[in-house]
Amino acid sequence: QARRQGLSQVIGYEAGMEAAADKRYTLSHDLYHALRGDEIHIALQPQVDLASGRVVGAEALARWTKRDGTSIPPSEFIPMAEANGLIVPLGRRIIELACIALARLGSAGFGNIPVAVNVSALQLARDGFLNDLRATVELHGLPASLLEIEVTESIAMDERTGTSNVLEQLRDAGFPLAIDDFGTGYSSLSYLRSLPATTLKIDRSFVHEIGNTPERLAIADMIIRLGQRFDMRLVAEGVETPAQREWLIARGCHQAQGYFFGRPQPLSDLLTTLRGWQANP
Residues that bind Mg ion (CB under 5 A): 118, 150, 180-181, 237
Find out whether 177 and 210 touch, Cβ atoms under 8 Å.
no
Biggest CA pair distance of the chain? 76
93, amino acid identity: R
Nearer residue to Mg ion within complex by CB, 164 or 184? 184
Per CB under 6 A, the list member of 40, 78, 235, 270 interacting with ligand C2E is: 78
Say whether residue 73 binds ligand C2E (CB under 6 A). yes
Say whether residue 258 binds ligand C2E (CB under 6 A). yes
Per CB under 6 A, the list member of 171, 240, 241, 265 interacting with ligand C2E is: 240
246, amino acid identity: E
Q: How far is the CB of 115 from ligand C2E (least distance, A)?
A: 12
Q: How far is the CB of 3 from Mg ion (least distance, A)?
A: 45
Per CB under 6 A, the list member of 13, 25, 259, 277 interacting with ligand C2E is: 259
Nearer residue to ligand C2E within complex by CB, 9 or 71? 71
Contacts from 265-272 at CB under 8 Å and sequence distance 24+?
265/43, 265/44, 265/45, 265/46, 266/43, 266/44, 267/44, 267/101, 267/104, 267/105, 270/44, 270/46, 270/55, 270/58, 270/105, 271/104, 271/105, 271/108, 271/110
The mark string for 26-55 relative to ligand C2E (x by CB under 6 A, - otherwise) is -------------------x----------
Q: Residues interacting with ligand C2E, by CB under 6 A?
A: 45, 61-62, 73-75, 78, 91, 94, 118-120, 180-181, 204, 237-240, 257-259, 264
